[in-house]
C-alpha cells in the first residue's frame, strides 16, 4: 500500500519539514508504523558543493574507519558529523546515522563525462556491497534523506526535520512487505541527485535489476524501489534522455496506441520501446522521483496505484491522497489525476 507525497517550490523558496510531516501523517491509513522517510533538497546551503554522504552504521567504531578509508581513496572529507537524532518512544535506534561532506578527486576517474558523479556512484556501490554494517542511504549534494522504522511523525521528530529547510521535499509512509523494520528498506531511496518514493511492487524487478546491473549498478537494498533511482540515473544522467523520454521508457504507451501515432512520434516511441524494453517497469506503482531541478510523478501503464497532483502558487504537489496535499496546503487548487503513464513534472527555476 504505502502513501507518498512530494512538493517542489519552483522558485526554490525553502520550506521547513513541518508541513510534509503533517501531510504524511495524514496518510497513516496507508502505512503500518514500520517505516517512514523524507528527503529534503536544499538542506545544506553551507556545504552545497560537497556530496552529502549519509551512512547508517551498525557500529561506527567498527565500520566507520573502513568507510573513511574507501572515501580517502577517491577524495577528501571536508566535514563529518553524527546526524542529530532525538529519542522517540517507539523508535529503536538500530543504526547510527552519520554524514560526510565529501569532495571527489575528479582526475581519478578519467574518460568520464561526469567523473565526480561516477566516483560517488562507485563508492556507494562499493560500500554497500562490501562493508557489512555500513549503508550509504543518501549521496547527493545539498540534500538529505531522513528515514527509520516508525510512524511518519515519529521519524520526523526523531530527526527533527522541522529544523531543516528544503525547496523540494519527498515523504513516504510505509506498509512494508519486503524488509519490515529495516531502516535501509524505508523510502526515500537515493542515489546521487535522484531520490525516489514509491508505492507499489515492481513485477519486472528481476528484469530491471539484471539490466541495470549490466551497467555496473549493484542492487543491495533487497527491494524493488532502488532500481528506479538507478534507472533514472542511467537514462537521464548517463544516456542523456529528457525526463519525459525517460518516463516514456519506464512506463511506455501500449503498442496499439503507438501504432496509431503520427509518423515521427511513432518511430521515436518504437525506438524507445525496443531500446529500453528491459527498463520498462511493470506491475502496480505510483512513483515520485526528484533531482535538484525537478520532481516527476507517474504511475504504471494501467494506473493500478493512485496519484493526484495540485498547484498552489509556485508549488506543485504530488501525492497518493488529495487529503495529504490539503493538509499541507489548504489553499491548493487545480487538483488533477494524471492518466496512466503520464508524467507530472515540476521544474525549479
Partner 1 sequence: MSIGSVPLRYRISVDRDQCMLCERCIDSCPYGVFRKEGEQIHVNSRVCVACHRCISMCPRDAISLVERPVDYRSHPIWTPQVREAIYNQARTGKIILSGMGNAQDYPVIFDRLLLDACQVTNPSIDPLREPMELRTYLGKKPSHLDFKTVDGDTVLQTILSPNLMLETPIMIGHMSYGAISLNAQQSLARAVKECGTFMGTGEGGLHGSLYPFQDHMIVQVASGRFGVDINYLERGAAIEIKIGQGAKPGIGGHLPGEKVCADVSCTRMIPEGSDAISPAPHHDIYSIEDLKQLVRSLKEATEWKKPVFVKIAAVHNSAAIAAGIARSSADAVVIDGFRGGTGAAPRVFRDHVGIPIEAAVASVDAKLRSQGIRNEVSIIASGGIRESADVAKVIALGADAVYIGTAALVAMGCRVCGTCYKGLCPWGIATQRPDLFARLDPDYASVNVANLIHAWTLELSELMGAAGINSIESLRGNRDRLRGYLLDENIMKVLDIKTVGA
Q: What does the block give as the cell for 276?
A: 529500453
- From 8-16, 56-64, 116-124, 197-205, give the range in contact with partner 1 by CB under 8 A: 197-205
Q: Least distance to partner 1 from the beta carbon of 268, Å?
A: 5
* Omega within 30 of 0 (cis) for the link into 335: no
User: Which parts of 94-133 interact with partner 1 (CB under 8 A)?
Assistant: none
Binding-site member from 25, 138, 204, 225 for partner 1 (CB under 8 A):
204
Among 162, 179, 203, 294, binds partner 1 (CB under 8 A): 203
Backbone angles phi, psi at 222, to 5 degrees: 60, 25
Comparing CB distances to partner 1, the nearer of 21 and 301 is: 301
Distance of alpha carbon 78 from the chain centroid: 25
205 binds partner 1, rule: CB under 8 A: yes
Q: Which of 283, 292, 293, 311 binds partner 1 (CB under 8 A)?
A: 283
- 256 makes contact with partner 1 (CB under 8 A): yes
Sequence-ordered strand ranges (E) for the chain: 3-9, 15-16, 36-41, 51-57, 75-82, 96-104, 134-138, 143-148, 165-166, 168-173, 189-191, 194-200, 285-290, 294-299, 308-312, 315-319, 333-336, 344-347
Residue carrying the nine cell digits 582526475: 107
Q: Give the Cβ contact number of residue 29 at 10 Å.
A: 11
Task: Verify whether residue 2 is a known catalytic residue.
Answer: yes
Give the count of alpha carbons within 13 A of 254, CB side only: 7
Residues within window 226-255 making contact with partner 1, judged by CB under 8 A? 238-242, 245, 254-255
Binding partner 1 (rule: CB under 8 A), the pick from 179, 207, 294, 314 is 207
Question: Which CB atom, from 86 or from 215, has the smaller least distance to partner 1?
Answer: 215
Out of 44, 50, 211, 317, which residue is the one contacting partner 1 (CB under 8 A)?
Answer: 211
Active site residues: 2
Please give the residue ranges that form the binding site for partner 1 (CB under 8 A): 177, 200-201, 203-207, 209-211, 213-215, 238-242, 245, 254-256, 264, 267-268, 270-278, 280-284, 301-302, 304
Amino acid at each position: 500500500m504505502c502513501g507518498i507525497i512530494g512538493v517542489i517550490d519552483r522558485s526554490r523558496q525553502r520550506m521547513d519539514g513541518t508541513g510534509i510531516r503533517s501531510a504524511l501523517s495524514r496518510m497513516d491509513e496507508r502505512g503500518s508504523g514500520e517505516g517512514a522517510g523524507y528527503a529534503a533538497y536544499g538542506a545544506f546551503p553551507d556545504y552545497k558543493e560537497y556530496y552529502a554522504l549519509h551512512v547508517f552504521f551498525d557500529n561506527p567504531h567498527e565500520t566507520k574507519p573502513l568507510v573513511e578509508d574507501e572515501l580517502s581513496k577517491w577524495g577528501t572529507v571536508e566535514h563529518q558529523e553524527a546526524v542529530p537524532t532525538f529519542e522517540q518512544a517507539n523508535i529503536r535506534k538500530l543504526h547510527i546515522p552519520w554524514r560526510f561532506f565529501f569532495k571527489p578527486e575528479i582526475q581519478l576517474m578519467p574518460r568520464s563525462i561526469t567523473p565526480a558523479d561516477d566516483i560517488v556512484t562507485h563508492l556507494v556501490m562499493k560500500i554497500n556491497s562490501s562493508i557489512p554494517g555500513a549503508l550509504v542511504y543518501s549521496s547527493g549534494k545539498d540534500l538529505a534523506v531522513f528515514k527509520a522504522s516508525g510512524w511518519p511523525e515519529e521519524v520526523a521528530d526523531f530527526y527533527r526535520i522541522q529544523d531543516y529547510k528544503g525547496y523540494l521535499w519527498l515523504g513516504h509512509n510505509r506498509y512494508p512487505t519486503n524488509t519490515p523494520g529495516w531502516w535501509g528498506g524505508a523510502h526515500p531511496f537515493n542515489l546521487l541527485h535522484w531520490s525516489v518514493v514509491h508505492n507499489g511492487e515492481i513485477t519486472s524487478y528481476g528484469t530491471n535489476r539484471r539490466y541495470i546491473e549490466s551497467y555496473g549498478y549493484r542492487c543491495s537494498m533487497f527491494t524493488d524501489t532502488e532500481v528506479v533511482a538507478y534507472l533514472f540515473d542511467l537514462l537521464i544522467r548517463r544516456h542523456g534522455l529528457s525526463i519525459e523520454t525517460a518516463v516514456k521508457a519506464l512506463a511506455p504507451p501500449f503498442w496499439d496506441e503507438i501504432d496509431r501515432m503520427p509518423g515521427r512520434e511513432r518511430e521515436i516511441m518504437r525506438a524507445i520501446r525496443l531500446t529500453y524494453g528491459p527498463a520498462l517497469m511493470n506491475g502496480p506503482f505510483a512513483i515520485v522521483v526528484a533531482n535538484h531541478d525537478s520532481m516527476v510523478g507517474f504511475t504504471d501503464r494501467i494506473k493500478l496505484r493512485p496519484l493526484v497532483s495540485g498547484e498552489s502558487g509556485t508549488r506543485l504537489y504530488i501525492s497518493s491522497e488529495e487529503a495529504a496535499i490539503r493538509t499541507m496546503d489548504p489553499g491548493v487548487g487545480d487538483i488533477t489525476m494524471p492518466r496512466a503513464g503520464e508524467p507530472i513534472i515540476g521544474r525549479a527555476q
